[in-house]
């Protein structure tokens, strides 16, 4: 039976004020979903930066931040309501907002094949031995 496993604290709506962004990182989940919620013209700058696909599993967020240069990134700046779905092992970053406020819906998740339904879904780490990644 398939069961989704979500990152703690998500789904979330991230609010980026002027100067706000997120350094290069990986999400460590199977997939990441970002949806721009802000109306056109509500902010300038921003966007999601990506680098050529490269496995960075096991690297710390600090190592990712040092390894990837923003000048080498492809930046997506989709319209309001547009979703970006991507592999959570791809390094990405939130570009700084130059002016205004940017809102984005963010959700990271894994899908697992459970060999046995866990007694509690509140602590997935206790059930690591009972699941197999798809």
Q: Model confidence over 98-133: pLDDT tens digits?
A: 999 999 999 998 876 666 666 655 544 444 444 444
Domain ranges of the chain: 9-108
For residues 46-77, one letter each, b for 16 or more C-beta atoms within 10 angstroms of the residue's C-beta and e for the rest, the string is bbbbbbeeeebeeeebeebeeebeeeebeebe
Assigned superfamily of 9-108: q2cbj1_9rhob like domain (2.60.120.620)
39-50 pLDDT, tens per residue?
A: 999 999 999 999
Whether this model's pTM surpasses 0.85: no
């Amino acid at each position: 039976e398939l069961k989704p496993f979500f990152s703690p604290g998500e789904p979330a709506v991230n609010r980026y004020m002027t100067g706000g962004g997120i350094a290069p990182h990986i999400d460590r989940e199977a997939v990441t979903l970002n949806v721009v919620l802000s109306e056109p013209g509500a902010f300038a700058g921003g966007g999601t930066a990506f680098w050529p696909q490269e496995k960075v599993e096991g690297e710390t967020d600090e190592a990712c931040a040092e390894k990837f240069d923003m000048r080498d990134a492809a930046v997506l700046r989709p319209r309001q309501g547009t979703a970006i779905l991507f592999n959570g092992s791809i390094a990405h970053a939130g570009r700084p907002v130059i002016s205004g406020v940017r809102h984005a819906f963010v959700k990271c998740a894994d899908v697992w094949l459970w060999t046995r339904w866990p007694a509690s879904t509140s602590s997935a780490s206790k059930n690591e031995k009972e699941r197999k990644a798809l």
